[in-house]
Structure 1
Amino acid sequence: MNIEKHRFRGPWSLWFIGILFLFLYAYGVYDFVMMLGHNVEYYSSNNYGDEVFEYFTDYPVLTLMLWIINIVSGVIAPILLLFRSRWAVMMALISAISILILQFITFAFMNRWNVFGPWVSLFDIAIMLMTFGLFVYCKAMAKRDVLI
Protein backbone atom coordinates (compact mmCIF):
# COMPACT_ATOMS: atom_id res chain seq x y z
CA MET A 1 0.00 0.00 0.00
CA ASN A 2 2.79 2.42 0.90
CA ILE A 3 4.60 1.60 -2.36
CA GLU A 4 1.45 2.31 -4.36
CA LYS A 5 1.00 5.64 -2.58
CA HIS A 6 4.61 6.58 -3.35
CA ARG A 7 4.19 5.58 -6.98
CA PHE A 8 1.04 7.69 -7.29
CA ARG A 9 2.59 10.82 -5.79
CA GLY A 10 6.06 10.36 -7.19
CA PRO A 11 9.14 12.18 -5.93
CA TRP A 12 8.94 15.96 -5.64
CA SER A 13 11.62 16.28 -8.32
CA LEU A 14 9.30 14.60 -10.83
CA TRP A 15 6.76 17.38 -10.35
CA PHE A 16 9.43 20.07 -10.50
CA ILE A 17 11.08 18.69 -13.65
CA GLY A 18 7.77 17.93 -15.34
CA ILE A 19 6.29 21.38 -14.74
CA LEU A 20 9.57 23.17 -15.55
CA PHE A 21 9.88 21.45 -18.92
CA LEU A 22 6.20 21.83 -19.69
CA PHE A 23 6.53 25.61 -19.26
CA LEU A 24 9.86 25.67 -21.10
CA TYR A 25 8.51 23.88 -24.15
CA ALA A 26 5.16 25.70 -24.02
CA TYR A 27 7.18 28.89 -24.42
CA GLY A 28 9.00 27.11 -27.25
CA VAL A 29 5.65 26.64 -29.01
CA TYR A 30 4.92 30.36 -28.58
CA ASP A 31 8.39 31.26 -29.88
CA PHE A 32 7.93 28.93 -32.86
CA VAL A 33 4.63 30.55 -33.84
CA MET A 34 5.96 34.09 -33.40
CA MET A 35 9.24 33.50 -35.25
CA LEU A 36 7.80 31.66 -38.23
CA GLY A 37 4.75 33.92 -38.28
CA HIS A 38 7.16 36.84 -38.70
CA ASN A 39 5.50 38.75 -35.85
CA VAL A 40 7.24 42.13 -36.09
CA GLU A 41 6.37 43.11 -32.51
CA TYR A 42 7.87 39.87 -31.19
CA TYR A 43 11.03 40.42 -33.21
CA SER A 44 11.42 43.99 -31.96
CA SER A 45 10.64 43.08 -28.32
CA ASN A 46 13.50 40.57 -28.45
CA ASN A 47 15.80 43.04 -30.24
CA TYR A 48 16.02 40.84 -33.32
CA GLY A 49 17.07 42.71 -36.42
CA ASP A 50 16.60 42.18 -40.13
CA GLU A 51 19.17 39.38 -40.13
CA VAL A 52 16.99 37.22 -37.88
CA PHE A 53 13.90 38.05 -39.92
CA GLU A 54 15.72 36.95 -43.10
CA TYR A 55 17.00 33.84 -41.32
CA PHE A 56 13.43 32.61 -40.85
CA THR A 57 12.27 33.69 -44.30
CA ASP A 58 12.16 30.56 -46.49
CA TYR A 59 13.30 28.43 -43.55
CA PRO A 60 14.46 25.02 -44.90
CA VAL A 61 12.01 22.14 -44.64
CA LEU A 62 14.48 19.80 -42.90
CA THR A 63 15.22 22.25 -40.09
CA LEU A 64 11.54 23.12 -39.83
CA MET A 65 10.66 19.44 -39.40
CA LEU A 66 13.37 18.98 -36.77
CA TRP A 67 12.13 22.05 -34.89
CA ILE A 68 8.54 20.77 -34.98
CA ILE A 69 9.62 17.30 -33.80
CA ASN A 70 11.63 18.87 -30.98
CA ILE A 71 8.80 21.10 -29.81
CA VAL A 72 6.04 18.49 -30.04
CA SER A 73 8.04 15.77 -28.31
CA GLY A 74 9.35 18.37 -25.84
CA VAL A 75 5.78 19.21 -24.81
CA ILE A 76 4.61 15.59 -24.72
CA ALA A 77 7.58 14.25 -22.69
CA PRO A 78 6.91 16.22 -19.47
CA ILE A 79 3.18 15.53 -19.73
CA LEU A 80 3.91 11.81 -19.94
CA LEU A 81 6.39 12.19 -17.08
CA LEU A 82 3.72 13.78 -14.90
CA PHE A 83 1.40 10.88 -15.77
CA ARG A 84 4.21 8.43 -14.84
CA SER A 85 4.31 6.89 -18.32
CA ARG A 86 7.44 5.10 -19.53
CA TRP A 87 6.80 6.71 -22.92
CA ALA A 88 8.26 9.89 -21.42
CA VAL A 89 11.71 8.34 -21.89
CA MET A 90 11.18 7.87 -25.62
CA MET A 91 9.64 11.32 -26.12
CA ALA A 92 12.50 12.98 -24.22
CA LEU A 93 15.02 11.07 -26.34
CA ILE A 94 13.30 12.11 -29.57
CA SER A 95 13.27 15.72 -28.39
CA ALA A 96 16.95 15.60 -27.41
CA ILE A 97 18.10 14.00 -30.66
CA SER A 98 16.03 16.34 -32.82
CA ILE A 99 17.36 19.47 -31.08
CA LEU A 100 20.93 18.13 -31.33
CA ILE A 101 20.61 17.59 -35.08
CA LEU A 102 18.79 20.91 -35.50
CA GLN A 103 21.49 22.83 -33.69
CA PHE A 104 24.28 21.02 -35.53
CA ILE A 105 22.76 21.96 -38.89
CA THR A 106 21.93 25.55 -37.95
CA PHE A 107 25.27 26.31 -36.28
CA ALA A 108 27.40 24.50 -38.86
CA PHE A 109 25.61 25.42 -42.08
CA MET A 110 23.21 28.30 -41.43
CA ASN A 111 25.46 30.75 -39.56
CA ARG A 112 23.25 30.69 -36.46
CA TRP A 113 25.92 31.98 -34.05
CA ASN A 114 26.52 35.13 -36.10
CA VAL A 115 22.84 35.76 -36.85
CA PHE A 116 21.57 35.44 -33.26
CA GLY A 117 24.70 36.39 -31.35
CA PRO A 118 26.39 34.61 -28.46
CA TRP A 119 23.73 35.03 -25.75
CA VAL A 120 20.81 33.58 -27.69
CA SER A 121 23.09 30.88 -29.10
CA LEU A 122 24.34 29.90 -25.64
CA PHE A 123 20.76 29.90 -24.36
CA ASP A 124 19.78 27.52 -27.17
CA ILE A 125 22.73 25.26 -26.31
CA ALA A 126 21.63 25.31 -22.66
CA ILE A 127 18.11 24.26 -23.71
CA MET A 128 19.63 21.38 -25.66
CA LEU A 129 21.69 20.26 -22.65
CA MET A 130 18.66 20.56 -20.39
CA THR A 131 16.65 18.43 -22.82
CA PHE A 132 19.31 15.72 -22.65
CA GLY A 133 19.06 16.09 -18.86
CA LEU A 134 15.32 15.50 -19.12
CA PHE A 135 16.01 12.28 -21.02
CA VAL A 136 18.50 11.12 -18.36
CA TYR A 137 16.01 11.98 -15.61
CA CYS A 138 13.15 10.13 -17.31
CA LYS A 139 15.37 7.12 -17.85
CA ALA A 140 16.36 7.14 -14.16
CA MET A 141 12.70 7.38 -13.10
CA ALA A 142 11.85 4.43 -15.37
CA LYS A 143 14.72 2.41 -13.92
CA ARG A 144 13.42 3.13 -10.39
CA ASP A 145 9.95 1.95 -11.51
CA VAL A 146 8.42 5.37 -10.89
CA LEU A 147 7.29 5.34 -14.52
CA ILE A 148 4.99 2.53 -15.55
Structure 2
Amino acid sequence: MAMFLLYVGGARDFALIALGDTGYIERQFGHDGAVYFSDYPPVLRVVWMLNVVGGLTAPVLLILRSRGAFPTAVVATLAQALLLAVTFAALDRWRMLGPELAWFDIGIGVLTAAFAAYVWWWRRRIRHAPPQSPQIGG
Protein backbone atom coordinates (compact mmCIF):
# COMPACT_ATOMS: atom_id res chain seq x y z
CA MET A 1 0.00 0.00 0.00
CA ALA A 2 2.96 2.32 0.59
CA MET A 3 3.80 2.02 -3.11
CA PHE A 4 0.30 3.19 -4.01
CA LEU A 5 0.54 6.19 -1.68
CA LEU A 6 3.96 7.09 -3.07
CA TYR A 7 2.51 7.16 -6.56
CA VAL A 8 -0.49 9.23 -5.48
CA GLY A 9 2.00 12.06 -4.95
CA GLY A 10 3.49 11.36 -8.38
CA ALA A 11 0.03 11.42 -9.94
CA ARG A 12 -0.63 14.80 -8.35
CA ASP A 13 2.64 16.18 -9.73
CA PHE A 14 1.90 14.73 -13.15
CA ALA A 15 -1.63 16.14 -13.29
CA LEU A 16 -0.70 19.64 -12.13
CA ILE A 17 2.30 19.81 -14.43
CA ALA A 18 0.28 18.48 -17.38
CA LEU A 19 -2.37 21.12 -16.68
CA GLY A 20 0.36 23.77 -16.69
CA ASP A 21 -0.21 25.02 -13.14
CA THR A 22 2.79 27.36 -13.12
CA GLY A 23 2.20 28.44 -9.53
CA TYR A 24 2.42 24.84 -8.34
CA ILE A 25 5.41 24.10 -10.56
CA GLU A 26 7.34 27.13 -9.31
CA ARG A 27 6.51 26.38 -5.65
CA GLN A 28 7.58 22.74 -6.00
CA PHE A 29 10.48 23.02 -8.43
CA GLY A 30 11.51 26.68 -8.57
CA HIS A 31 11.96 28.89 -11.62
CA ASP A 32 14.31 26.42 -13.35
CA GLY A 33 11.67 23.72 -12.83
CA ALA A 34 9.06 25.88 -14.53
CA VAL A 35 11.41 26.33 -17.49
CA TYR A 36 12.21 22.59 -17.50
CA PHE A 37 8.57 21.49 -17.56
CA SER A 38 7.41 24.19 -19.99
CA ASP A 39 9.41 22.49 -22.73
CA TYR A 40 8.90 18.87 -21.65
CA PRO A 41 8.68 16.57 -24.70
CA PRO A 42 5.23 15.03 -25.30
CA VAL A 43 6.68 11.54 -25.74
CA LEU A 44 8.22 11.77 -22.26
CA ARG A 45 4.85 12.85 -20.86
CA VAL A 46 3.42 9.59 -22.23
CA VAL A 47 6.25 7.59 -20.63
CA TRP A 48 5.70 9.49 -17.36
CA MET A 49 1.97 8.73 -17.55
CA LEU A 50 2.74 5.01 -18.03
CA ASN A 51 4.97 5.15 -14.97
CA VAL A 52 2.33 6.86 -12.83
CA VAL A 53 -0.57 4.67 -13.99
CA GLY A 54 1.53 1.53 -13.53
CA GLY A 55 2.73 2.69 -10.12
CA LEU A 56 -0.85 3.28 -8.99
CA THR A 57 -2.32 0.14 -10.56
CA ALA A 58 0.27 -2.53 -9.70
CA PRO A 59 -0.22 -2.39 -5.89
CA VAL A 60 -4.00 -2.57 -6.34
CA LEU A 61 -3.64 -5.56 -8.65
CA LEU A 62 -1.33 -7.21 -6.11
CA ILE A 63 -3.89 -6.75 -3.34
CA LEU A 64 -6.52 -8.27 -5.66
CA ARG A 65 -4.06 -11.13 -6.33
CA SER A 66 -4.23 -10.48 -10.05
CA ARG A 67 -1.70 -11.92 -12.48
CA GLY A 68 -1.56 -8.46 -14.04
CA ALA A 69 0.33 -7.07 -11.03
CA PHE A 70 3.74 -8.21 -12.27
CA PRO A 71 3.57 -6.94 -15.87
CA THR A 72 2.12 -3.67 -14.61
CA ALA A 73 4.94 -3.27 -12.07
CA VAL A 74 7.46 -4.01 -14.82
CA VAL A 75 5.92 -1.34 -17.08
CA ALA A 76 6.14 1.18 -14.22
CA THR A 77 9.77 0.21 -13.57
CA LEU A 78 10.82 0.39 -17.23
CA ALA A 79 9.03 3.71 -17.71
CA GLN A 80 10.74 5.15 -14.63
CA ALA A 81 14.15 3.89 -15.77
CA LEU A 82 13.64 5.36 -19.24
CA LEU A 83 12.54 8.69 -17.79
CA LEU A 84 15.56 8.87 -15.53
CA ALA A 85 18.00 7.93 -18.28
CA VAL A 86 16.61 10.32 -20.89
CA THR A 87 15.99 13.28 -18.60
CA PHE A 88 19.42 13.08 -16.97
CA ALA A 89 21.21 12.55 -20.28
CA ALA A 90 19.26 14.85 -22.59
CA LEU A 91 17.34 17.37 -20.47
CA ASP A 92 19.96 18.24 -17.85
CA ARG A 93 17.63 17.20 -15.05
CA TRP A 94 20.30 17.33 -12.33
CA ARG A 95 21.06 21.02 -12.96
CA MET A 96 17.50 22.11 -13.75
CA LEU A 97 15.72 20.45 -10.82
CA GLY A 98 18.59 20.10 -8.36
CA PRO A 99 20.31 17.17 -6.68
CA GLU A 100 17.70 16.69 -3.92
CA LEU A 101 14.89 16.04 -6.37
CA ALA A 102 17.24 13.99 -8.57
CA TRP A 103 18.13 11.68 -5.68
CA PHE A 104 14.47 11.48 -4.64
CA ASP A 105 13.47 10.40 -8.15
CA ILE A 106 16.31 7.87 -8.28
CA GLY A 107 14.98 6.52 -4.97
CA ILE A 108 11.50 6.23 -6.49
CA GLY A 109 13.04 4.26 -9.36
CA VAL A 110 14.82 1.91 -6.96
CA LEU A 111 11.63 1.41 -4.90
CA THR A 112 9.61 0.77 -8.05
CA ALA A 113 12.13 -1.86 -9.20
CA ALA A 114 12.16 -3.41 -5.72
CA PHE A 115 8.37 -3.56 -5.78
CA ALA A 116 8.43 -5.30 -9.19
CA ALA A 117 10.95 -7.80 -7.78
CA TYR A 118 8.68 -8.40 -4.78
CA VAL A 119 5.67 -9.00 -7.06
CA TRP A 120 7.78 -11.45 -9.10
CA TRP A 121 8.78 -13.27 -5.89
CA TRP A 122 5.17 -13.31 -4.66
CA ARG A 123 3.93 -14.64 -8.00
CA ARG A 124 6.50 -17.48 -7.96
CA ARG A 125 5.68 -18.29 -4.34
CA ILE A 126 1.96 -18.50 -5.08
CA ARG A 127 2.53 -20.55 -8.24
CA HIS A 128 4.70 -23.10 -6.40
CA ALA A 129 2.74 -23.22 -3.14
CA PRO A 130 1.19 -26.57 -2.28
CA PRO A 131 -2.59 -26.60 -2.63
CA GLN A 132 -4.40 -25.91 0.59
CA SER A 133 -6.91 -28.46 1.71
CA PRO A 134 -10.22 -27.23 3.08
CA GLN A 135 -10.52 -27.17 6.85
CA ILE A 136 -13.47 -29.14 8.14
CA GLY A 137 -14.82 -28.59 11.60
CA GLY A 138 -12.09 -26.22 12.55
- Bigger radius of gyration among the two: 2
Q: Which amino acid aligns with 1:125?
A: I
The structural deviation recorded for 1:39 is 2.1
Gapped regions of structure 1 (runs ≥ 5): 1-18
| Percent identity of equivalent pairs | 31
1:34 maps to which of 13, 16, 24: 16
In 2, the alpha carbon distance for the partners of 1:58 and 1:112 equals 12
1:112 maps to which of 93, 101, 104: 93
Q: Which amino acid aligns with 1:30?
A: R
In 2, the alpha carbon distance for the partners of 1:124 and 1:106 equals 11
Gapped regions of structure 2 (runs ≥ 5): 128-138
The structural deviation recorded for 1:35 is 2.1
TM-score by length of 1: 0.81
Equivalence for 2:135: none
Q: Which amino acid aligns with 2:19?
A: G
1:43 maps to which of 17, 22, 25: 25
The structural deviation recorded for 1:85 is 1.1
Are 2:26 and 2:34, in contact at CA under 8 Å, matched by a contact in 1? no
Alignment partner of 1:101 is 2:88: no
Are 1:89 and 1:138, in contact at CA under 8 Å, matched by a contact in 2? yes
Equivalence for 2:44: 63
Q: 3-state DSSP class of the match of 1:56?
A: helix
The structural deviation recorded for 1:57 is 1.0
4+ runs deviating over 6 angstroms: none
The alignment yields a C-alpha RMSD, in angstroms, of: 1.4
How many residues are treated as equivalent by the alignment?
127
Q: 3-state DSSP class of the match of 2:126?
A: coil
Q: 3-state DSSP class of the match of 1:86?
A: coil
Alignment partner of 1:24 is 2:10: no
Equivalence for 1:145: 126
Worse overlay, 134-143 or 49-58: 49-58
In 1, the alpha carbon distance for the partners of 2:70 and 2:22 equals 37
Q: Which amino acid aligns with 1:78?
A: P
Could you give the per-residue CA deviations for residues 71-112 of structure 1, whole angstroms, max 9, x where no partner exists?
111111001011011210100001000110111000000000
In 2, the alpha carbon distance for the partners of 1:21 and 1:28 equals 11
